[in-house]
Amino acid sequence: MYLSKLSVQGFKTFAKKTSLSFLPPAADRYPLTSIVGPNGSGKSNLADAIRWVLGEQSMKLLRGKKSEDVIFSGSEGRGRSGFAEVSITLDNSDKMMPIDYSEVTITRRLYRDGNSEYLLNDGSARLADIQLLLAQANVGQRSYSVIGQGMIDHILVSTPEERKSFFDDATGVKPLQLKRHEAILKLKRTLENLTDVEMLVQEIEPRLRSLKRQVSRLSEREEVERELRGMETSYYGTLWWKLIDELAGIKSQFTEIDARILEKRSELEVIETRTKAVENSETGEDAGLAALQKVYREKQRERDACRQAQFQVEKEIELTKVRAQSNWAPLPLLKIVEEIDGLDVLLKNLKSLKDIDALHTAIDGVLDKVVGLNKRLRKPNPEDIKPDPALLEKKASLAIEEQRIKAELVEQEREIDAYAQKEKEVRTELIDMQRELREKQTQIHLLENQRNSIQIEAARIDERQKNLNREMDEAMGNFAVKARTNRQTLAGSGDPTHNKIDTDVLYPEIQRLRYKIELIGGIDPEIVVEFEDTKKRFEFLDEQLKDLRSAINATEKIVIELDEDIATQSKKVFALINKEFEKYFKILFNGGSCSLIKLSKEDLKADEETEVTPERVFEDTGEAERDKTDAIRERIAAYDDGVVGIDIQATPPGKKLKSLNLLSGGERALTSIALLSAIMAVNPAPFVVLDEVDAALDESNTLRFASILDDLSKNSQFIVVTHNRATMEKADILYGVTMGDDGISNLLSVKLEEMASGGTARR
């Protein structure tokens, strides 16, 4: 790789577009290009242009104060430029730069409004991407690729950590450091994301636990409700279908007795018709017998009315019992707890009683409370329910009235029989018919009593059915319809299940499950939705945590591997540079000694002026600040070689000096040239720009310097800005820079081969 072309427009004094072309390498060496010109002509601006296009951000190194200082500011004969643009074209035939182009053009453009851009082969690019490509090709804007005016001894007067950045380029670890820097930044971003996710997880986790407990309770409630629903279905279904069967049986009995009553009434009507016919045929009917029969019939009507009233009262009494039983409700759980606590207190008080009578009284009180609590917890039987006393009194009075009427009827029947006995001879047939009539009436009366009892029972069952229907709706809701419509039977037989179910056993279990649901309490079904959403969120974040931790581990491995590669390569190349440094130092000084020494943080702690801060290391080496409290960064730091600076020791022949500050200007220049030559010999850059690095050298040292350049040109392309004749003599092509009255730099190129043959130069 070599620099084939440089184009400058609007950069400092180069207002017009100016291009410099460089010769391709020969078989054994790269052509040496010299740029010459009087002081102030702008030749050093070409070196600044190359440094600027390579990505230099320090205006101090570019000999300016602010960014717009690099844009042509105008002169008397020409207005100022609106932008500055510099392009370098690199021949990449050897693919030193890992890009699929045989020729790479890098362009940097800056406008006066502050906008800037980088172009790679006319395509927009990031500075970081360009720097990585250049570093992979062993080219860097702050390395030895561009040595600006007055900067030849900069490496000597700079701090040890600043030299570290220079030697990072020299040892070829800059690409690895850039990758490491990106890996560290990625690691920091991942750590920040990990912290954020962990904070979210810590925020969500307590809520998830709370929701999980509630959902668990809801699941328990659903299980209890499912069990309760099954028991209620069996319990209420059994009661319901038992009532249905009882009501069906009652209705069947009622139909049968009602039919018999109708039959008896038909027979009674026949007898009454015959009796009336006989009575009408008897011309001598006794008025006394007729009067007795009339009274007898009136008494019968009174008896029937009394019986009907009794029937209504008995019916009301039975319905009252059914209603009372249906309206009964068990004690609430809190009330039960209060009653039991009261019993507990009474039982504890028994221990302190010594008097037998008082003890018996207390025991009786406890038993009364236990019996009372037991009655209040059990559903009462209809027989145990006392009806309204007014109804009982009315029923008793009606019973007495009925007995009175019955006695009067018996007396009336006796009188009729006595009167009939007298008239037996003349009215035998009529009396027999009347006797038969009374028998039929008695039979009908008995059947009506049975029918009334059946009606009362039917009314009682109907009322119980209505109450049960209401209770089922309240307890079971929509499931009640299923229990009332689906009649379950035992498997393998037609026997209904209610014949095998003991409702007295089921009822306490139902109450127990209801109390259990009451203890669990009501839970909003939306809790389940929130729990599922929160669980999904938590699982997602937990998976993110795993991915982030995995990414951190993978990135740590990359950083560790890069640290090992950097340490290995740096150690190897640093030793070679040290060896070459001593070689070129002895060539330039005709003897003497020198060495390069690596410095750790401990070596620099004593000197506050040269103390290495994390910010400075980051700026110079591209490494992120290491947080010692962070366990991950501590692990990474353990693989670092700990080198943060480079010290230089140089002793010219015949002297005992080691401090660089005691060297003369020429000695510092020679030492810097020796070090620069050593680096280029070990790790040659594709091209090197030297801006008046030989200005402080005398004629003999200039010859040595020129000889070294000629030797190093075998591996690197040199572009030298110089005033020295010895350096010019080694050049293959000369570019002259001049400046007219308009303050604009102009270029004059001279190819020495053409000068030798034709004696001409061209602009």
**pLDDT value of residue 763:** 47
Strand pairing category for 33-36 and 733-739: parallel
Last residue of a domain, one of 431, 461, 486: 486
**Whether 624 contacts 186, CB under 8 Å:** no
Q: Give me the sign of the Cα torsion angle 192, 197, 202, 204.
A: positive
Q: Do 314 and 445 sit in the same domain of this protein?
A: yes
Low-confidence ranges of the chain (pLDDT < 70): 140-144, 149-153, 218, 278-290, 321-334, 375-387, 419-431, 488-500, 519-525, 602-643, 657-659, 750-763
* pLDDT given at position 305: 83
| 359, 481: one domain | yes
Q: What is the 3-state secondary structure (H, E, C) of 13-58?
A: CECCCEEEECCCCCCCCCCCEEEECCCCCCHHHHHHHHHHHCCCCC
Joined together, the tokens standing for residue 667 give: 């000695």
Q: Are residues 284 and 432 both part of a single domain?
A: yes
What kind and span of H or E run contains 662?
A: none
Q: In this structure, is residue 655 part of a structural domain? A: no
Q: Number of folded domains in the chain?
A: 2
| The model scores a pTM over 0.75 | no
Could you list the residue range(s) of the whole structural domain that residue 320 is in?
238-486
Tokens 């500055």 locate to 84
Looking at 486, 518, 544, the residue that finishes a domain is 486
Looking at residue 64, which CATH number applies to its domain?
3.40.50.300
Segment 260-264 long-range contacts (CB within 8 Å, at least 24 positions apart) = 260/447, 261/444, 261/447, 261/448, 261/451, 264/440, 264/443, 264/444, 264/447
Using CA of residue 668, residue 671, residue 675, residue 678, what is the dihedral sign? positive
- Residue 640 backbone zone (phi > 0: left; psi -120 to 50: alpha; other: beta): beta
Answer yes or no: is 524 within a domain: no
Distance CA 489, CA 494 (A): 6
| Residue 525 counted as domain residue | no
Handedness of CA 599, 604, 610, 614 (dihedral sign): positive
Residue 613 resides in a domain: no
- The DSSP symbol for 686 reads S
From 486, 505, 532, the end of a domain falls on 486
Which residue type, as a one-letter code, is found at position 368?
A: D
Count of helix runs (H) and strand runs (E) in the chain: 20, 14
Tell me the sheet residues that pair with 718.
Answer: 688
Whether 23 maps to a domain, the answer reads yes
What is the rounded end-to-end Cα distance, in angstroms, of the chain? Answer: 27
| Residue 277 shares a structural domain with residue 383 | yes
**What six digits make up the tokens of 101?**
């182009």
Evaluated on CA atoms 251, 253, 259, 264, the torsion sign reads negative
Q: Confirm whether 700 is domain-assigned.
A: yes
Residue 463, domain member (yes or no): yes
141 and 36, same domain (yes or no):
yes
pLDDT tens readout for residues 375-407: 666 655 555 566 677 877 887 887 888 788 888
Residue 210 lies in a domain: no
pLDDT in tens, 227-265: 888 888 888 888 888 888 888 888 888 888 888 888 888
User: Residue 107: what pLDDT?
Assistant: 96
What tokens were used for 651?
């002793």
